[in-house]
Amino acid sequence: MTEVLVVGAGPAGLAAALAARARGAAVTLLDAADELGGQYWRHLPPQRPAARERALHHGWARFERMRRELEADPGCEVLTSAQVWAIEPADDDGRVGADGRLIDGGDRAVAGAAARAALVVHVLVGPVDGADRVARSIRPDALVLATGAHDRTLPFPGWDLPGVFTAGAAQALAKGERVAVGERVVVAGAGPFLLPVAASLAATGARVVGVHEANRPGRLAAGWLPRPWALIGAVGKAGELAGYAWNHVRHRIPYRTGSAVVAAHGTDRVEAVTIASLDRDWRPIAGTERRVEADAVCVSHGFTPRLELPIAAGCAITSDRFVVVDAGQGTSVAGVYAAGEITGIGGVDAALAEGAVAGHVAAGGSPTDAEISREMRARRTTTDFAGRIEASHGIRSGWTAWLDDDTLVCRCEEVPYGRLRATGDATCSTGLRSLKLTTRAGLGICQGRICGRTVEHLLGGDGGFADGVSTDRRPIAAPVRLAELAGASAPNRPEGHLRKETP
Amino acid sequence: MSARMLPAGSDPIRPGPTAPVTIHVDGEPVTGAAGQTIAGIVLANGRLAWRRTSSDGRPRGLFCGIGVCFDCIVTVNGDRDVRACQRRACDGDVVSSQHDELPEVHR
Amino acid sequence: MGYDVAVIGAGIVGAACARALAAEGLRVVVLERDAAASGTTGRGEGNLLVSDKGPGPELVLAQRAAALWPGTVAALADELGPDFPAVEYEPKGGLVVATTEQGAEPLAAFAQTQRAAGVDARVIGVDDALALEPHLARGITAAVHYPEDAQVQPVVATEALLASARRHGAEVRTGVEVTGALRDAQGRLRGVATTAGEIAADRVVLAAGPWTGEISSRLGAHLPVRPRRGMVLVTTRMPHRVFRKVYDGDYFGATQSSDAALQTSSVVESTAAGTVLVGSSREQVGFDDRMRVEVLRQVAAKALRLFPFLSGASVMRAYGGFRPYMPDHLPVIGADHRLDGLWHATGHEGAGIGLSLATAELIAAGIAGRAAPIDPSPFSPQRASLAPHLAEEAA
Ligand SMILES: Cc1cc2nc3c(=O)[nH]c(=O)nc-3n(C[C@H](O)[C@H](O)[C@H](O)COP(=O)(O)OP(=O)(O)OC[C@H]3O[C@@H](n4cnc5c(N)ncnc54)[C@H](O)[C@@H]3O)c2cc1C
Ligand SMILES: Cc1cc2nc3c(=O)[nH]c(=O)nc-3n(C[C@H](O)[C@H](O)[C@H](O)COP(=O)(O)OP(=O)(O)OC[C@H]3O[C@@H](n4cnc5c(N)ncnc54)[C@H](O)[C@@H]3O)c2cc1C
Ligand code: FES
């Protein structure tokens, strides 16, 4: 039986696990979080179940069905609080031929069968960042990566003040804990995601004083209908309550386009923001600045896919930095599939369709099989959606005009814009590795997850770097304690079934 | 004012009754609802920042909320660098804030 | 227009050579395939050690380098001004410890031989070692303190050396790969062919680190430099608790061995950023740069034998590079006897950061036809210990 490992239990991973089961594979589904659902279906914990959780989510019933089915299925092992921290080549990878087929796989060398993934996935299971999690190494036949994305927030003066959050943080706290990040909240950035965030905030008792989309109506209209609230439907619809809140949002909350938070003010916490109008390249227009009091600011300019695992697995990445996949969601590496936001920012419907295709093909199916024809069609329409998001909301270069010399670019190592530039100018370095080590930007504990793309843009423009280095490469995908590492399980025996071991 | 939890009574999604959890943050007892993260409890109790940065000593708290920025790290029961936004609080957790000064460099 | 010297490679060795040669008044161009410090120099540590070297030519080179570093660091800071990041030179000293009973005796004996060669090697009691490093494991059996050991940040040091070279008129061209030799009618080297066209130069200094094997063949004078992989772990920032560079005596075995199989030894040090670097491994796996968990596991396990408190430290990054390894364990510095006009500056294996300045001094003196402060002959490509390897490659 084919053994499929699915990493990430968001919409894409859930759909992949179900599809792989439907095709008869043994499945392990794991996620670093202790609940299934990923970013989209984040919900109150079992200690505090809500009678009307569905009101906050679109497709909640579908999620519950998927979860129930997987949890009840003895052929699917669901592993939560399971952090994948490394992926490495398996010892027997020498036996995979140039054509990607197994050369000498013993009884596994089935002629014509898809090649087995030659990788070992290292997992730590236990409380988040705990000191004595249990190590497991899994050597699947096929690996589906569905690790999703996180917010991309561009720096602006004051963005490091407490009270400035990513939009995703506001969403996570609202959905996961029913905590509103503030009472008077400004939401800003770019993309359709700002709208569900405003709706969730409103549904959690916060007053949203404005939603500011950086792009101007012309550009938005080119990608969307000129009615902003049409977008929320496109993102996969809010739940009934958020829909209700959205009604409120639509009538009561100013939605301003061509407008951005260009600074946050306060000494030890945010007290107010400066909002300015932007030109079509996101350059602030002089004279349009106005100050707005707020106790929380939620800013997001798009999403960055979580690429460390695909890169560790050796998957090819597109020039706009998503995982390259074929019609069956196969990556450039034999036996490795990718689905969801890591293959393009397309929202929940795309993630579900791609996940189902990936799971089906990983389990030995073909993208032309009738079982997944519906998903194959959905996959095509949703790629169009991803293109529209990028066309309407993609980041424009004028934003750097709102930086000043003291604005931190790298939050962890506290590298301000002025110093970043001065160091780059002084060394004349053309390599990203050297620029990171001389400026320290991106070397801190978040390992460039927050500032990486920004640093690349500020130091290299769009031309890239002479050393071809990217900030997305992180062979250690999450911090691991030295003692856990010292006890890491011994190299895997190449033969055999899914190896689930605790040393 | 700042972050706060929507009282269950006025929450339209009608969350079930909450069992309290109490954690100790820098010596102070702080109470939240079972299943909340450490960051969620601290935020909802009115504290927006719990760490100071190494170079400039600036306050930091929660930023990304989903475990990628590491701004929210705290020491929990003696374990350093725990992401407060990801770790569910357990009754009695001893949480202390981290301020890691840079080493004195002898040139 | 031709150059006096073309330096191949902008690692720390090429950078140091470029600076020394430009300071001689020569017209210098540095040709780098990728970017400065993108090779081994950007993927190692910055220990400037005398402690790990036994009496012999490499120790003499290391002692010369140790003497050059403080003055060079001060000169670079003066020249480049406050906008240039600090090279983080720290003369923090090294502490070598034995963790077994059997290890104690050889450690002291080794220190004795080093002292005879002029190294400040102080055999100290276990209590004194614990006073220097209070967080060290209680179970250590012997310790030697080496006050002359120091540390730099290799990438900043390389960029600083290059910036200084530029100030002396050198040109640094990145993204230019050398692909072959240009020779005159007599067969003498007169420049190099590159991906950016032909570049004429009276002399060529080959400082391509572990890639020297390949490019020396293309130039027509093969040198048997091979890559020897090493991995290092980086922790998150933590309170300062490791004050010197501390390593366990096993390290000598690993540096001096020719074994291709994986070897690990523990080297632990803090950086100016508050992180702790935990090294390192040695294995010969060609240029395979994929991370192997087993290697990390061994490195981590050995570090815990030295500093048990590190058990809870979070490792946030692992990186590795390819040490330029010579089969006879000595760098190659000097004129090639087979190809007139070609000079070598490579093969420093795990010590190239430290040895770079002394290497550059030898190269500059050699090209200028001046006597060098130390005897260059042990490093010559013509040395006896290298002859069989050159013959082997030719066969
Ligand atoms: C904070 C946040 C909130 C969002 N909210 C909405 C919303 O309300 N409405 C909307 O339309 N879109 C929302 N989005 C966009 C959202 O990403 C997509 O709509 C959808 O969730 C994508 O599904 P996915 O399966 O690709 O990824 P995700 O849902 O992101 O799932 C990826 C999963 O992989 C896991 N994972 C990642 N790395 C590892 C690892 N190394 N080891 C183990 N597990 C790992 C993560 O824990 C996560 O659960 C949100 C995005 C973010 C970042
Ligand atoms: C894990 C590890 C730890 C280490 N720790 C230490 C330490 O603590 N102290 C110490 O002193 N040393 C240490 N070293 C060793 C040290 O890093 C090396 O000896 C040193 O960096 C070698 O420098 P280099 O300039 O010779 O080579 P490199 O830095 O590799 O530079 C060679 C350059 O040549 C370029 N190049 C190659 N081919 C061509 C071509 N055809 N055309 C143009 N350019 C080309 C490459 O791109 C590269 O940039 C360590 C090494 C490793 C791997
Ligand atoms: S707030 Fe970003 S990791 Fe916790």
CATH number for the domain that contains residue A207: 3.50.50.60
Dihedral sign from CA coordinates of A58, A63, A65, A66? positive
CB of C19 closer than 8 Å to CB of C164: yes
The CATH class of C94-147+227-324 is alpha beta
pLDDT of residue A246: 65
Residue C386: alpha-carbon gap to chain centroid: 20
CB of B88 closer than 8 Å to CB of B67: no
Checking if the pLDDT of C8 tops 70, the result is: yes
Residue B28, Cβ density class (10 Å: 0-12 exposed, 13-18 middle, ≥19 buried): exposed
The one-letter code for the residue type at A278 is L
Q: Is A359 in the pocket of ligand 1 (CB under 6 A)?
A: no
Q: Is C278 in the pocket of ligand 2 (CB under 6 A)?
A: no
**Which H helix or E strand runs over C368?**
helix C352-368
Q: Is C11 in the pocket of ligand 2 (CB under 6 A)?
A: yes
Q: d(Cα A178, Cα A187) in Å, to the nearest integer?
A: 18
Q: Is A353 inside any structural domain?
A: yes
Q: Is C174 left (phi over 0), alpha (psi -120 to 50) or beta?
A: beta
Best of C325, C348, C359 to mutate for ligand 2, by most ligand atoms within 8 A of CB? C348
Alpha-carbon distance B30 to nearest alpha carbon in chain A (angstroms): 16
Token readout for C106 is 């050889």
Q: Do C272 and B103 touch (CB under 8 A)?
A: yes
Q: How many CB atoms lie within 10 A of CB C138?
A: 7
pLDDT of residue C1: 64
CB of A273 closer than 8 Å to CB of A163: no
Q: Between β-strands A303-305 and A149-151, what pairing exists: parallel, antiparallel or unpaired?
A: antiparallel
Q: Which amino acid residue places its CA nearest to atom 51 of ligand 2? A: C44
**Residue A13: strand, helix, or coil:** helix
Q: What is the ipTM of this complex?
A: 0.96
**Which H helix or E strand runs over C255?**
helix C250-256
Q: Which of A460, A476, A498 is the last residue of a domain?
A: A460
Q: d(Cα C375, Cα C395) in Å, to the nearest integer?
A: 31
Token readout for C45 is 């540590």
The CATH number of C3-71+154-225+328-394 is which of 3.50.50.60, 3.40.630.40, 3.30.160.100, 2.50.20.10?
Answer: 3.50.50.60
* Distance of CA C220 from the midpoint of ligand 2 (Å): 22
Any C CB within 8 A of B105 CB = yes
Q: What is the pTM of this model?
A: 0.93
**Which H helix or E strand runs over B49?**
strand B49-52
Three-point CA angle A86, A433, C52, nearest 5°: 80
User: Residue C46: its chain B contacts at CB < 8 A?
Assistant: none
Q: Between β-strands C263-270 and C276-282, what pairing exists: parallel, antiparallel or unpaired?
A: antiparallel
A12 and A126 fall within a common domain:
yes
Query: Of C166, C175, C293, which is closest to A86 when you measure between CB atoms?
Result: C293
A39 and A124 fall within a common domain:
yes
Residue C91: alpha-carbon gap to chain centroid: 17
Average pLDDT, chain C: 94
HSE at residue C287, side-chain half, CA atoms within 13 A, is 10
Q: d(Cα A194, Cα A173) in Å, to the nearest integer?
A: 15
| Nearest atom of ligand 1 to the alpha carbon of A39 | 29
Q: Is A373 inside any structural domain?
A: no
* Averaged pLDDT, groups of 10, chain A, 503 residues long: 96 98 97 96 93 88 96 97 96 45 40 73 96 93 98 98 98 96 97 89 93 86 54 53 64 87 97 97 97 98 96 94 95 97 90 97 96 89 72 89 98 97 93 94 97 94 81 95 81 34 32
Window B:26-45, CB contacts with A under 8 Å: 33-37, 40, 43-44
**Banded model confidence at residue C95, pLDDT cuts 50, 70, 90:** very high
What is the number of CB-based contacts under 8 A between chain A and chain C?
A: 150
- Cα radius of gyration rounded to whole Å, chain B: 15
pLDDT of residue C21: 98
- Packing angle of the helix pair A452-460, A417-427 (nearest 10 deg): 50
Q: Do B105 and C88 touch (CB under 8 A)?
A: yes
A33 and A172 fall within a common domain:
no
A138 and A203 fall within a common domain:
no
A261 and A293 fall within a common domain:
yes
Dihedral sign from CA coordinates of C44, C45, C49, C54? negative
Domain count across chain A: 3
Average pLDDT, chain B: 93
Among C33, C51, C35, which Cα is nearest to C43's? C35
A288 and A236 fall within a common domain:
yes
* Distance of CA A40 from the midpoint of ligand 1 (Å): 6
Any C CB within 8 A of A422 CB = yes
Domain boundaries, chain B: 20-97
Q: Which ligand is nearest to the CA of B84?
A: 3
- Assigned architecture for domain B20-97: Roll (3.10)
Q: Is C341 left (phi over 0), alpha (psi -120 to 50) or beta?
A: left
A271 and A353 fall within a common domain:
no
DSSP-H helix ranges across A235-372:
240-252, 308-313, 347-362
A38 and A102 fall within a common domain:
yes
A294 and A349 fall within a common domain:
no
What residue numbers bound the domain in which A412 lies?
403-460
Q: Which of A263, A282, A301 is the last residue of a domain?
A: A301
**Residue A437: strand, helix, or coil:** helix
Alpha-carbon distance A261 to nearest alpha carbon in chain C (angstroms): 31
* Distance of CA C133 from the midpoint of ligand 1 (Å): 45
Residue B10: alpha-carbon gap to chain centroid: 25
pLDDT of residue C153: 96
Of residues A497 and C101, the one with the higher pLDDT is C101
Residue A91: alpha-carbon gap to chain centroid: 30
Q: Which residue on chain C is closest to B78 by alpha carbon?
A: C312
Three-point CA angle C124, C127, C128, nearest 5°: 45
Residue C222: alpha-carbon gap to chain centroid: 21
Q: Is A500 inside any structural domain?
A: no
Question: How large is the average pLDDT for residues B39-49?
Answer: 96
Q: Is A374 inside any structural domain?
A: no
For CATH 3.30.9.10, list the domain ranges present in chain C: 94-147+227-324
Chains that touch B (3 or more CB pairs under 8 A): A, C
Strands (E), A218-308: 255-257, 259-265, 272-277, 290-293, 296-300, 303-305
CB of C47 closer than 8 Å to CB of C353: yes
* Distance of CA A353 from the midpoint of ligand 1 (Å): 15
C311-359 pLDDT tens trace: 999 999 999 999 999 999 999 999 999 999 999 999 999 999 999 999 9
Q: How many CB atoms lie within 10 A of CB C296?
A: 29
A244 and A283 fall within a common domain:
yes
Q: Which of A301, A335, A351 is the last residue of a domain?
A: A301
- Residue that is written with structure tokens 């010369």 in the block: C64
C247-285: buried (b, 16+ CB within 10 Å) or exposed (e) per residue? bbbbbbebbeeeeeebbbbbbbbbbbbbbbbbbbbbbbb
Q: d(Cα C198, Cα C193) in Å, to the nearest integer?
A: 4
Q: d(Cα A422, Cα C230) in Å, to the nearest integer?
A: 33
User: Residue A306: its chain B contacts at CB < 8 A?
Assistant: 68
Q: How many CB atoms lie within 10 A of CB C166?
A: 17
The string of DSSP letters for C18-46 reads: HHHHHHTT--EEEEESS-TT-SGGGGS--
For CATH 3.50.50.60, list the domain ranges present in chain C: 3-71+154-225+328-394
C61-72 pLDDT tens trace: 999 999 999 999
Alpha-carbon distance A73 to nearest alpha carbon in chain B (angstroms): 26
Query: Of C158, C166, C317, which is closest to A447 when you measure between CB atoms?
Result: C317
Query: Of C273, C294, C315, which is closest to A479 when you measure between CB atoms?
Result: C315
Q: d(Cα B2, Cα B49) in Å, to the nearest integer?
A: 12
Best of A34, A39, A81 to mutate for ligand 1, by most ligand atoms within 8 A of CB? A39
The string of DSSP letters for A339-350 reads: -GGGG---HHHH
> How many helices (H) and strands (E) in chain B?
1, 8
Q: Is A235 in the pocket of ligand 1 (CB under 6 A)?
A: yes
Q: Which residue on chain C is closest to A429 by alpha carbon?
A: C36
User: Residue C309: its chain B contacts at CB < 8 A?
Assistant: none
Dihedral sign from CA coordinates of A276, A278, A284, A287? negative
Q: How many CB atoms lie within 10 A of CB A47?
A: 15
What is the number of CB-based contacts under 8 A between chain B and chain C?
A: 35
Q: Which amino acid residue places its CA nearest to atom 18 of ligand 2? A: C352
Q: Which amino acid residue places its CA nearest to atom 9 of ligand 2? A: C47
